[in-house]
Structure 1
Amino acid sequence: MFGPWWKLGVDTTLLAFEAQAVIGLRLAKLAAGGSAAQVEAQRMVSEKVLAAGEAAMQIATGASTGAVVAGYRRKVLANHRRLSRAPKGAAKP
């Protein structure tokens, strides 16, 4: 009975933690400045507009709340992977 609600709550909580980690990585990149920071700032804004439009379309076409949260989580995790990689040309440990 409470299974779907529980899953949505857990997924939403995970999304919040995952998004916070991405915010930290993005802030570090923005604080470093330079052209990479400018590209990241533009990418961040355009991704948010596209993700909001996609979520609105999902809701308008009858997708579940869980599907919307899952879509956001996929995007956040992809950003985390991208931002966690060492920059090109960086020394490897």
Structure 2
Amino acid sequence: MGRRNNDWLSLGLESWQLGLEAGEVMWLRGCMIAMGGAAGEREAQRMVTEKLAANASFGMMVASGKAGTSPEAATRSALAHYGRRVRANRRRLAKKVP
């Protein structure tokens, strides 16, 4: 298998892992929101604000060329960009949800 195929294979695996992590964050956030109260409301607002900010900042990366010039580089940039946020949310929410 050539280097190019390995790149796409590793990107596929990283995408799969990010999907699993994002699913966990969705579940944890759902628990927080379902508990209601001020904490649930703050989490719902935070979720929307974070999504808008993450998408806007990645859009600027793409527009400025900082996301890479090849499809592989752009994909790797997207996975890194969103992965950092997903993992930070997972760590934060895991501490809060019983």
Same-fold call, TM cutoff 0.5: yes
In 2, Cα distance between the equivalents of 1:11 and 1:37? 30
Greater fraction helix: 2
* Correspondence 1:68 to 2:78: yes
Deviations 1:56-78 (A, max 9, x none): 11222221221111110110000
Match of 1:13 in 2: 16
Runs of 4+ in 1 over 3 A off after TM superposition: none
Gaps of 5+ in 1: none
Q: Could you tell me how far 1:48 is from its partner in structure 2?
A: 0.3
* Correspondence 1:81 to 2:81: no
Q: Could you tell me how far 1:86 is from its partner in structure 2?
A: 4.1
Structure 2 counterpart of 1:47, one-letter code: E
**TM-score normalized by the length of structure 2:** 0.83
Identity of aligned residues (%): 41
Structure 2 counterpart of 1:44, one-letter code: M
- SS of 1:85's partner is helix
* Correspondence 1:31 to 2:34: yes
Residue correspondences, number: 88
Match of 2:71 in 1: none
Gaps of 5+ in 2: 68-73
Match of 2:62 in 1: 59
**TM-score normalized by the length of structure 1:** 0.87
